Structure 1
Amino acid sequence: MADDSRTETSSQLSSPTDHGSVDSGFLSGTPSTVSLPRISLTQPHLQHLNKQLESLHPMDILRFCKIFFPNLYQSTAFGLTGLVTVDMLSKIDAESANPQPIDLIFLDTLYHFQETYDLVERVKSRYNVRVHVFKPADVETVSQFEELYGEKLYETSSELYDWIAKVEPLQRAYSELKVAAVLTGRRRSQGGQRGDIKIIEVDDERGVIKINPLANWTFAQVKEYVTEHKVPYNALLDRGYKSVGDWHSTVPVGEDEDERAGRWKGQDKTECGIHNKQSRYAQWLKATAQREQQVQVA
């Protein structure tokens, strides 16, 4: 797959530091890795927007976001919710005499199913949308990745894998594309850490506004939309998968299981780090540095 968005990139990992309060009401970290959001929203304003948007149809939420937020992108792994968002955005563009498509950001971990890569091409063809592909820094293939980090890094050090394959590439995407706001495919019905997400959230660590336009939709509603509008979707969904990630950490789910039950099955995790307040690997780095400091003091 061609990668038209990777120009000057960096593979250097930065250790996080404690975040301090600032006058704007947001939190900030080290200047090299995070920044204040390019859009400034006070907490009262944010609460007001979420209250107004909560009862709106996702199409209306997307219409509002296209007008309100500059430098708006959609980050997607081409799951069902993200695909519904792509389709809705295409319909909104069709309403306008001067359409302004929203570009997509796709994190190619190099370990996606072939069915996922096939779907990316189908979506690009169907919607004529631009996809910015970001891979782990300084590698293009699985063999190059494993030459640098060893085989099965996702098993030997899953937090390091998440950082290298997902968290760092997303931060690089935000930086290179100057992303101010990003649409996600998260929904409350997916459970776990997503159970109480708002429509609009401030990611103060990464310096962007996150928007969850289908936050209050159920899996059944998403699937119904896909069927009704003939939205292209991952062939794996017809084989018992409900949520598709990397092939090494995704399995089919039972009829009555949660839709994300097939992700990291048997592991003590529900997120890969890109939606966490702080990546678990970054937390590990911080804890390790603190332990080393304590040893030196002792």
Structure 2
Amino acid sequence: MDDARTERPLALSEQEIATLARSLEEAAPQAILAWALDRFAGRVALACSFQAEDVALIDMAAAAGRLTAVTVFYLDTGLHFPETYATCRRVAEYYGIEPVAVKPALTVDEQAARYGPDLWARDPDLCCRLRKVEPLRRFLRGFDAWITGIRREQTPQRARTAVIEADRRFGLVKVNPLARWTRNQLWDYVLRRGVPYNPLHDRGYPSIGCAPCTRPVGPDEDPRAGRWAGFTKTECGLHA
């Protein structure tokens, strides 16, 4: 996996970030999000995979009348489910936004020509680096902070996620408003607010990535067991 770091000064000092993380630890996601949109207005990006978490954050920003303060984007790997692209269109229409499609340097066909077909089935780490990590690094150079929908209970690797972090990998302040929320809290918000969500969530896909690397999971399986099945891989590299 790519472990390169972006060497540029953060918009806040490490001490400021640690202090803010402590002070906002018990705050509601809406309050954490509002802080980020106020502090970094026009210089903050919201990562959207069109899963329930990310669209909930868009809904919170819309409810606060602050969508113009943030750039909503998604990593268009060229390998998403049709349902994911359809959800993108629904979200765009529902909230009146135009999510920015961040694309890899290579199309899927160009990647196959250079690295061989179905790279994800042979070297998923390299595939994620080419189609997600490197495009994200290029895109985030224009921002001071980014907002994600990751939650602590999703994976052991995310269990210590702070609501505000120093992201040395991309050289930004990273804001995770939903870090403390459980799956039940998330879905209570989504259903109560009528947030548009990916229909694959109702078909056994609690975690949705690229189509070749995602399968539905059984009721007794870990929610992320359907990601990169057959590999020890659990993260795409964006949140390592």
TM bucket by the smaller chain?
Answer: over 0.9
Q: Do 1:73 and 1:183's aligned partners in 2 also have CA atoms closer than 8 Å?
A: yes
Q: Is 1:168 aligned with 2:134?
A: yes
2:181 matched residue in structure 1: 217
Q: Which string of whole-angstrom CA distances, capped at 9 and with x for unpartnered residues, describes residues 173-209 of structure 1?
A: 112xx11100001100102210110001111231111
TM-score if structure 2 supplies the norm length?
0.93
Q: Do 2:37 and 2:69's aligned partners in 1 also have CA atoms closer than 8 Å?
A: no
What does 1:37-48 correspond to in 2, within 5 Å? 37-43=9-15, 45-48=16-19
1:24 matched residue in structure 2: none
2:218 matched residue in structure 1: 254
1:202 matched residue in structure 2: 166
Deviation of the 1:150 alpha carbon: 2.1
**3-state SS of 2:150 partner:** coil
Which residue identity is paired with 1:113?
F
Inter-CA distance 53–137: structure 2 relative to 1 (3 Å threshold)? same
Q: Which string of whole-angstrom CA distances, capped at 9 and with x for unpartnered residues, describes residues 219-256 of structure 1?
A: 11111111111111111111111010011111111223
For residues 61 and 217 of structure 2, the distance between their equivalents in structure 1, rounded to whole angstroms, comes to 30
Which residue identity is paired with 1:268?
T
Give the superposed CA RMSD: 1.8
Q: Is 1:237 aligned with 2:208?
A: no
Q: Do 1:39 and 1:209's aligned partners in 2 also have CA atoms closer than 8 Å?
A: yes
Percent of matched pairs sharing the same residue: 37
For residues 91 and 267 of structure 1, the distance between their equivalents in structure 2, rounded to whole angstroms, comes to 40
TM-score if structure 1 supplies the norm length?
0.75
Q: Do 2:133 and 2:237's aligned partners in 1 also have CA atoms closer than 8 Å?
A: yes
Deviation of the 1:101 alpha carbon: 4.0
1:109 matched residue in structure 2: 77
For residues 3 and 188 of structure 2, the distance between their equivalents in structure 1, rounded to whole angstroms, comes to 42
For residues 82 and 66 of structure 1, the distance between their equivalents in structure 2, rounded to whole angstroms, comes to 15
**3-state SS of 1:171 partner:** helix
Give aligned pairs, total. 238
Rg larger in structure: 1
Deviation of the 1:58 alpha carbon: 0.6
Q: Which runs of 5+ in 2 are unaligned?
A: none
Which residue identity is paired with 1:195?
A
Runs of 4+ more than 6 Å apart: none
Q: Do 2:11 and 2:144's aligned partners in 1 also have CA atoms closer than 8 Å?
A: yes
Q: Is 1:90 aligned with 2:59?
A: no
Deviation of the 1:16 alpha carbon: 6.7
**3-state SS of 1:93 partner:** coil
For residues 258 and 138 of structure 1, the distance between their equivalents in structure 2, rounded to whole angstroms, comes to 33
For residues 38 and 46 of structure 1, the distance between their equivalents in structure 2, rounded to whole angstroms, comes to 10
**3-state SS of 1:151 partner:** coil
Deviation of the 1:212 alpha carbon: 0.3
Structure with more contact order per residue of length (Cα contacts < 8 Å, sep ≥ 6):
2
Q: Is 1:133 aligned with 2:101?
A: yes
Q: Do 2:12 and 2:173's aligned partners in 1 also have CA atoms closer than 8 Å?
A: no
Deviation of the 1:143 alpha carbon: 3.0
Deviation of the 1:37 alpha carbon: 3.8
Which residue identity is paired with 2:84?
T
2:92 matched residue in structure 1: 124
Q: Which string of whole-angstrom CA distances, capped at 9 and with x for unpartnered residues, describes residues 3-32 of structure 1?
A: xxxxxxxxxxxx877xxxxxxxxxxx5xxx
